[in-house]
Amino acid sequence: MKKTIVCFGDSNTWGYNAETGARFDEELRWTSHLASHLGSSYTVIAEGLSGRTSVCEDPLFEGLSGLPYLYPCLMSHSPLDWVVIMLGTNDTKERFGLTSYNIAQGIVRLAKKAKGIESGIGGQTPEVLVIAPPPIGEKYIDTPIGEAMGSHCSEKSLELAGHLERLLRGTGIHYADSKNEVAMNEIDYMHLDADGHREMAKFIWSQVTTRIDKG
């Protein structure tokens, strides 16, 4: 039976192309590259939504909190072997009023929920891998997206990884920080370009396969 991986994320999992404002073709998205790397014994399911947060309800747009959607999402795709969560970029928006530590708390809350959902083989729980996304570049504030995002997003984004690492210790949830391997684009400084999607796929492939090899 094929192993199934759900990739739960935001516009960088959905495949937003900041250069065109459209969506990257399917074969260019990191989830598709990941499927190619893993081969025919895996099914990779992309569950990306632009604007998605970990736990915050957005006062401007409905349905963007990952928390209430997580259970039906994982159960609808079950049985699962892995859930890969990459969120946090949207949580930095000024309108949410969160510190970088608060953002990490929300992601950990979501990851613990994923770890406790009996969506795995035989009603077991899946393995969960949290990926800290690449930090938002400081120049985002000078782009058209800066006004909607608000102030201090890059600072909070940069601090997020350290908080996640500390909060996830001892939880049984896997963790990896992508910032030394993958960078955001130089258009709006908060989305992956085509090269970024390829690099993200390689990074997540290495993280998943290393942990599978370790049993």
**Which contacts qualify for 70-75: CB closer than 8 Å, 24 or more apart?**
70/8, 70/110, 70/113, 70/114, 70/117, 71/113, 71/117, 73/6, 73/8, 73/47, 74/6, 74/114, 74/117, 74/119, 74/126, 75/117, 75/119
Query: Does the reported pTM lie above 0.95?
Result: yes
Residue 213: the pLDDT is: 62
Residue 98: the pLDDT is: 98
Task: Return the DSSP state at 140.
Answer: G
Across the strands, what pairs with 53?
A: 65
Is pLDDT above 70 for 102?
Answer: yes
Residue 214: the pLDDT is: 59
At 211, the pLDDT band (50, 70, 90 cuts) reads confident
Give the separation between CA 42 and CA 44, rounded to whole angstroms: 6
State the average pLDDT over residues 140-169. Answer: 98
Task: Return the DSSP state at 195.
Answer: H
Give the separation between CA 187 and CA 202, rounded to whole angstroms: 22
What SS3 class is residue 47? Answer: strand
Q: CA angle at residue 42 from 73 to 8, to 5 degrees?
A: 30
State the average pLDDT over residues 28-41. Answer: 97
State the average pLDDT over residues 15-37. Answer: 98
Is pLDDT above 90 for 187?
Answer: yes
**Residue-averaged pLDDT of the chain:** 97
At 49, the pLDDT band (50, 70, 90 cuts) reads very high
Is pLDDT above 70 for 136?
Answer: yes
At 81, the pLDDT band (50, 70, 90 cuts) reads very high
Q: Are strands 127-132 and 174-177 parallel, antiparallel or unpaired?
A: parallel
The residues, any chain, with a CB within 8 Å of residue 9's CB and separated by 6 or more, are 47, 48, 49, 52, 84, 85, 86, 87
